[in-house]
Amino acid sequence: MQRYHHTQFANTRRLRDLKKAAGSVISVCIPTLNEAASIGRIVQTICSAFVDETPLVDEVLVIDSGSDDETRDIAANAGARVLISAEIVPETGTHTGKGENLWKALHAAKGDIICYLDGDVENFHPGYVAGLIGPLLERAEIEYVKAYYERPLVNGDLAHANGGGRVSEILVRPFISMFYPELAGILQPLSGEYAARRNLLESLPFPTGYGVEIAHLIDLLQMGKLDCLAQTDLACRVHRNRADGDLGDTAFAILRVMLRRMERDGKISLSEPPTELHQRWLIDEGGVEAVLKNIPEPERPPIRPV
């Protein structure tokens, strides 16, 4: 699997020429929920580098889940087209979750190349876009480009260079090693930054929550598309680190998605459907409190099944 570094695509005029020769349209899509602290800088950086300085990106879409902060206003003022997820193809209903926003983005975006970015990155730089779309513009046989990076764990003034990505390290990498070892070469299986050709994305189902990234990788493997994947080093990704309880909810959603695919692929046989109820405990000076959350993690079907 080909690996790149984002600096290999620093010549944005060359990327513009490749895009023009291919007749491509590029859409950058960012799912958000209460990202007022970071979304403005991300959108401004994209628009400055790839709209104003070098016309490369045709649209920046922010697909919002219903933020109750200033995310939408900040994104719009920075140059994005802001859409509310529930209002895109409303006849299909709506779910809350990252994967839902990504699926809805496919309905709203006009590009034949889609670049997905997370909205909480604190050290965003132009390489996030150039490094992901560059391989697609450079090589026709590449269809899906996944980011990897150093993920520090930041706690106040303290930072641990490789302490981030806890769900990846504790859940997803062991799972891949056991059941889908062909994917072991994917350095950041849960990275939220990736770019792909529309026709490929439209052939994939989208879990509506945090299971969407691992679902894509397993499904691409089963489709025989592993040779069409590439990875780009974006150097370092700093974002807000979530509490262990929140990460537990994320892991629960991802586990549901992985179990479905394991059963589909004949790797396990479940005697009954797994529960949707995630049960955990909050233990502090006040005592012990049960924390219960329903996490069904439904899936959106492919827009254009193969």
Altogether, the residues listed in the chain come to a count of 306
pLDDT, residue 94, reads 95
pLDDT, residue 160, reads 46
**pLDDT band for position 154 (cuts 50, 70, 90):** low
Residues 223-274 have pLDDT tens digits of 999 999 999 999 999 866 678 888 999 999 999 999 999 999 999 999 999 9
Q: pTM for this one?
A: 0.93
Q: With contact defined as beta carbons under 8 Å apart, do 40 and 74 qualify?
A: yes
List the domains of the chain with CATH numbers. Answer: 2-243 (3.90.550.10)
Residues 29-38 have pLDDT tens digits of 999 999 999 9
DSSP letters of the chain?
A: -EEEEGGGG--HHHHHHHHHHHT--EEEEEEESS-TTTHHHHHHHHHIIIIIIS----EEEEEES--SSSHHHHHHHHT-EEEEGGGSSGGG----SHHHHHHHHHHH---SEEEE--S-BSS--THHHHHHHHHHHH-TT--EEEEEEE--EEETTEEETT---HHIIIIIHHHHHHH-GGGTT-S-TT-S-EEEEHHHHTTS-EESSTTHHHHHHHHHHHTT-GGGEEEEEEEE--BPPPPHHHHHHHHHHHHHHHHHHHHHTTS---SSPPPSEEEEEEEETTEEEEEEEE----EEPPSS--
Answer yes or no: is pLDDT of 155 > 80.
no
Answer yes or no: is pLDDT of 46 > 60.
yes
pLDDT, residue 159, reads 47
Distance, in Å, from the CA atom of 186 to the CA atom of 190, rounded to the nearest integer, reads 9
Distance, in Å, from the CA atom of 191 to the CA atom of 148, rounded to the nearest integer, reads 7
User: What's the rounded mean pLDDT across residues 18-22?
Assistant: 97
pLDDT, residue 243, reads 83
Pick from 75-89, 231-245, 274-288 the range whose average pLDDT is largest. 75-89
pLDDT, residue 245, reads 87
